[in-house]
Amino acid sequence: MAISVMKAILLSVSLFMTGALAPAGIFESTPSSYPVKPGKIDEASGIADSRSHPGYLWVEQDSGNPAEIYLLSHKGEYNRKIKIKGVTNRDWEDLVLSAGPEAGKSYIYLGDIGNNKENASKYFIYRFPEPALNADTVHHVEKITYEYPDRGHDAEAFLVDHQTKDIYIITKRDKPSAIYKIPYPQSTTALNKAKLVGRLGFNGVVSAALSPDGKELLLKTYTGVFYWKRKAGQSIEQALATDPTQVSYQLEPQGEAICFKSDNSGFFTLSEKPRFMKRVNLNFYKRVGR
């Protein structure tokens, strides 16, 4: 759910005024934009670039939609939907592609982490290997159930460290956004307890991305994209404790999804489609010099 336009503007201005967040030339300022035909994917809340199927993105949709993921080409063309058996879409808010229990396999993580009223007691992250390109249903899904140490929180962004496989949830409405950690191995039978490990200098985070090599992070709000470069041996929470750099980003109607391209040549964003718009675009911001 979008924050008000005025709050978004004030947030963007306050971040820009820190100085450290002035837009930097890491990625090109004007994206390549590809129209997404309406009707199939109108409420994108998370995207990840497939490693098993080059040229395609995995997409999930927000609450109220079926428990399905979708394949979208890098040109914005709809390919297919895949049902996720045995789960529900209470409030899916982000999608991550990372390492998992079995070495050498690429896993999809679906974050059922949203909670606008901040009154839920339990939250869920679903994990399964990337499906085959011709699959129509995912039958075997691991369910990671967790709770916060204090109360319910609304989150729309999370990360999975490719090396440690630790999960990081970043809240949206807390002022400032809080960072919670669920260390690996996460239980799929017992309740996991998320631990508060840090806070950002701002709030309103709606999506997060970790680069394929694990060395760069992006956090997205409705009005900006913020970048961190990890140092050798630095954990995700240590990296997020430093000042970010704001990178160029063209405002979307309700952009809630971001991911790096699998070859690390840039990043994608995708917006939900408001009723007043005929369509939205898949945007790709190429890395400068690539």
Q: What is the pLDDT of residue 8?
A: 46
Q: Which CATH architecture has domain 5-286?
A: 6 Propeller (2.120)
pLDDT above 90: residue 62: yes
The pLDDT value given to residue 83? 99
Query: Tens digits of per-residue pLDDT, 150-166?
Result: 999 999 999 999 999 99
Domain boundaries, given as residue ranges, for the chain: 5-286
Q: Strands 192-193, 142-147: parallel, antiparallel or unpaired by DSSP?
A: parallel
Tokens of 218: 């992006």
Q: Where are the alpha helices (DSSP H) in 126-250?
A: 236-240
What gap in Å lies between CA 237 and CA 245, rounded to an integer? 16
232: alpha, beta or left? (left if phi > 0; alpha if psi -120 to 50) = beta
What are the tens digits of pLDDT across the range 23-54? 568 999 999 999 999 999 999 999 999 999 99
Integer Cα distance of 255 and 4 in angstroms: 14
Cα angle vertex 125, ends 147, 236, to 5°? 80
Beta carbons of 33 and 252 less than 8 angstroms apart: no
Which tokens in the block code for residue 1?
């759910």
Identify the pLDDT of residue 23: 56
Sheet with 192-193, edge to edge strand ranges = 94-98, 107-112, 123-129, 142-147, 192-193
The confidence score (pLDDT) of residue 166 equals 99
Average pLDDT, the chain: 93
Higher local confidence (pLDDT), 274 or 257 = 257
Q: Which residues of 187-205 are buried (b: 16+ CB within 10 A; e: fewer)?
A: eeeeebebeebbbbbbbbb
- Report the percentage of the chain scoring pLDDT > 70: 92
Q: How far apart, in whole angstroms, are the C-alpha atoms of residue 271 and residue 62?
A: 11
Determine the residue type at 60: E
- Whether the per-residue pLDDT at 20 is higher than 90: the answer is no
Range with the poorest average pLDDT among 19-23, 119-123, 207-211: 19-23
> What is the model's pTM?
0.92
pLDDT exceeds 90 at position 5: no
Considering only residues 286 and 23, tell me which one the structure prediction assigns the higher pLDDT: 286
